[in-house]
Amino acid sequence: MLAAFASFFLNLKENYVHDRFSNFFLFIAIFAFVVVIHSFTKNNTVNNFRALAERLKIDFHYEKPDIISELFREVHPELSGLYMERYQLRVYVIVEGGGNSAKRYVAFEFDALSNKPHNLTLMQEGVFRKMGKALGMQADVEVRDEEFDQKFIVKTDDASFAKQVLGDPDLRELFLKDYHLFTNGQLSFSGGTIRYKGAGFFSSTSSINETAGMVNLGVVLAKIL
């Protein structure tokens, strides 16, 4: 369908470029193309959220607006429910900024059932973070595990707390095994809550596996806390 609209748009441009009605037809074609692209992407996102709800066995919530309204305001699916009969889980979309500069993130949170007063954040140590760390601009906690320290940045308000939590070699091995899940996001604990925030619009099927995998890592972390 997308290919057909693209072909239609190009044919209009070629055949009507000298016609006095060309601008009108081009406007209609461009508008229709934008609507189809937007609808296609949004349908993928909604379907992937629904598939994730089935995977996690929690509830799917989405009130679909009419197609014109959807062009001017964003309405996103949301998931909620008791995960593993223990954790009240919520999965949702965060939009930061507006217009063309808007950034969208898939996020989740659940009560870790822990009264620890400290916070902890785990993120992938990318190229820019490595540079910041080397220049002393990116301070983090190291747990004396060379591979783990090279791949992860650990942020906390209490170094001894972070070292205690990450002191289990089996836990570090699990995080290293799922290191790829941190490519676009970070996992954190603060105020008794496990949180995740990952860049992207959840329009690819790989997002389902990545988010489900990160939820499971969050549960592992919660059990240790």
- Structure-model confidence comparison of residues 15 and 190, the more confident one: 190
Task: Indicate the average pLDDT of the chain.
Answer: 81
Structural domain includes residue 40: no
As for how many domains the chain has, the answer is: 2
Measured CA distances, 167 to 39, 40, 224 (Å): 47, 46, 11
- Structure-model confidence comparison of residues 33 and 157, the more confident one: 157
Q: What is the pLDDT of residues 187-213, one digit of tens each?
A: 999 999 999 999 876 777 888 999 999
> Do 75 and 144 share a domain, yes or no?
yes
Q: What is the pLDDT of residues 93-152, one digit of tens each?
A: 998 887 777 788 999 999 999 999 999 999 998 644 455 554 444 468 999 899 999 999
- Domain extent, residue 183, equals 45-224
> Do 96 and 151 share a domain, yes or no?
yes
Q: Where does residue 97 fall: left (phi above 0), alpha (psi -120 to 50 degrees), or beta otherwise?
A: left
Instruction: Please report which helix (H) or strand (E) contains residue 209, including its range.
Output: helix 206-224
